[in-house]
């Protein structure tokens, strides 16, 4: 994990130098994925978005194209940094209005859901963060303000169900889209996506669940108003990666060492595995009908199984408070 974290810091510095002073306070370059999570490995994509929170301007396209050219030419450790994937979710601009106002309904597309949830779970602003912080704060205000009884009254729940349901919806969307992409691409890249689904994507979902639950334990302590709660939640987004949230949970609930090692140890093995260029390339190119007979893939699958079992022990066999949350909010 440390190697990946150090590499992420170095790549972030490269990106910040490349951006320079071209952005105004209404724009923030936001990175996602392994770079934002502090998990940079060989072959990681540089997933980025120009987040705009201001009046529309034709020059926004020019800025986006300038960024794409700059970031597309970056090199690290002697190799070209991979550009964003072909889906089009990253490597372009996004406006704050649909992210904040289209939560649910027909206008809340897969791309919009992805941008919103990833802003809360694994986003990292590069350089001036004003627009990023405003948008994240506005999204959190929607989740808190649109749930009557969350903050006040005898029915005060403490768990933001609105946010929780959106996190669950995103996770289910990711799992369904995995099958869609496998079919649409004729199985190409299915091995690597499968391993990521079992580990890094599952980590995101876990961190989202914990953000909702830990809120009732931490950011709602002391009977705060909604403004204070949102500010505290914003600090969590700013300062904590998904692995950080997992580590905080393990410490706060005194999760047994054996379970903690199973979770964090398997994730560390996963990062080491995909940091090997040949192994990563093999996962990406392995034919679909050879996955279940390939020793490297089966090893990665076993790592994912251990990660999954560790999480299940933490949520279902761990402290009473965590089990109660899982039973009350994690199923229905």
Distance CA 220, CA 61 (A): 41
148: pLDDT strictly greater than 90: no
What distance lies between CA 227 and its chain's CA centroid? 24
- Cβ(273)–Cβ(307) under 8 Å? no
| pLDDT tens readout for residues 246-285 | 998 899 889 999 999 999 999 999 999 999 999 999 999 9
Sign of the CA dihedral 6, 250, 118, 306?
A: positive
Both structure tokens of 131? 């627009």
Average pLDDT of span 153-172: 82
pLDDT band at residue 157 under the 50/70/90 scheme: low
pTM: 0.92
For residue 95, the surrounding DSSP H or E stretch is strand 92-95
Average pLDDT over residues 234-257: 88
- Per-residue pLDDT, 222: 57
Residues with Cβ within 8 Å of 52's Cβ and at least 6 positions away in sequence, in order, are: 26, 27, 60, 93, 94, 95, 96, 131
Contacts of 303 (CB under 8 A, 6+ apart): 199, 266, 269, 270, 273
pLDDT digits (tens, 9 = 90+) for 195-204: 999 999 999 9
Within 8 A by CB and 6+ apart from 110, the residues are: 173, 177
List the domains of the chain with CATH numbers: 1-146 (3.30.460), 150-332 (no CATH)
pLDDT digits (tens, 9 = 90+) for 28-77: 999 999 999 999 999 999 999 999 999 999 999 999 999 999 999 999 99
State the chain's mean pLDDT as an integer: 90
Asked whether the predicted pLDDT for residue 228 surpasses 90, the reply is no
């Amino acid at each position: 994990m440390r190697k990946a974290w150090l590499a992420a810091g170095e790549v972030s510095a490269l990106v910040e130098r490349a951006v320079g002073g071209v952005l105004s306070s209404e724009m923030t370059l936001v990175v996602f994925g392994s770079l934002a999570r502090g998990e940079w490995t060989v072959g990681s994509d540089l997933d980025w978005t120009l987040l705009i929170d201001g009046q529309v301007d034709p020059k926004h396209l020019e800025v986006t194209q300038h960024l794409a050219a700059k970031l597309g030419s970056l090199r690290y450790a002697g190799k070209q940094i991979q550009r964003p994937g072909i889906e089009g979710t990253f490597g372009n601009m996004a406006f704050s209005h649909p992210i904040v106002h289209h939560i649910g309904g027909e206008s809340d597309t897969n791309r919009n859901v992805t941008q919103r949830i990833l802003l809360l779970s694994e986003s990292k602003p590069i350089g001036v963060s004003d627009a990023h912080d405003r948008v994240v704060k506005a999204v959190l205000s929607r989740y808190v303000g649109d749930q009557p009884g969350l903050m006040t009254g005898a029915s005060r729940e403490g768990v933001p169900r609105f946010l929780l349901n959106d996190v669950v919806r995103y996770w289910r969307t990711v799992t369904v889209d995995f099958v869609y992409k496998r079919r649409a691409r004729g199985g190409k890249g299915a091995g690597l996506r499968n391993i990521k689904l079992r580990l890094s994507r599952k980590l995101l979902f876990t961190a989202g669940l914990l953000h909702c639950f830990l809120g009732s334990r931490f950011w709602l302590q002391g009977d705060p108003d909604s403004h204070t709660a949102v500010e505290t939640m914003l600090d969590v987004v700013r300062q904590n990666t998904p692995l950080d949230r997992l580590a905080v949970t393990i410490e706060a609930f005194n999760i047994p060492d054996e379970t903690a090692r199973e979770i964090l140890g398997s994730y560390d093995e996963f990062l080491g595995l995909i940091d090997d260029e040949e192994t990563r390339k093999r996962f990406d190119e392995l034919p679909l009908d050879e996955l279940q007979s390939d020793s490297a893939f089966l090893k990665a699958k076993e790592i994912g199984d251990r990660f999954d079992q560790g999480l299940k022990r933490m949520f279902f066999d761990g402290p009473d408070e965590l089990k109660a949350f899982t039973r009350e909010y994690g199923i229905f």
